[in-house]
Amino acid sequence: MIGPVIIVIGLSVAAVATQMAMGKSNGEQVIDYKTLHHCFNHYLRCDSVGNNLWQTLLKTSPHFDRYCCWLFVAAALGLVEFEKVIEAPWFKVPQFVSPEVNWMAALFMLPVAIAPAIEHIGGIMAIGKVTGKDYASNPG
């Protein structure tokens, strides 16, 4: 039952991901295709070099070198704005607010919360039938 929910979420973000990959934001072209092609080309080069050269050194963080390469190329092409990062307060106490409950959001998430529980109970019952034991009576 959770599979269709995941499919719907994936399909709903696919259109946005496609627009972003084409350099568009809100239907408007913000990065031209030549610049995007240049960035993706450098990223793929960094990816192939990273897969071959850094396998042992960066085994715990395999995409860090690719991200650094992508950020360097994008900054060199003027696609990264560092002004907001420089102007932002680096250490600041967040503004605390009192929590509020949105019952519509809770009701919307209820099927997503119930589906794994139902699947888990079904799995326990199916395994019990295969093995001939009653796992539901003493699950622990």
Q: Which helix (H) or strand (E) holds 3?
A: helix 2-21
Is the whole model's pTM more than 0.75, yes or no?
no
Q: What was the pLDDT predicted at 43?
A: 76
Those residues whose C-beta lies under 8 Å from the C-beta of residue 6, and which sit 6 or more positions away, are: none
Q: What was the pLDDT predicted at 96?
A: 92
Q: What was the pLDDT predicted at 81?
A: 84
Q: What is the mean pLDDT of the chain?
A: 81
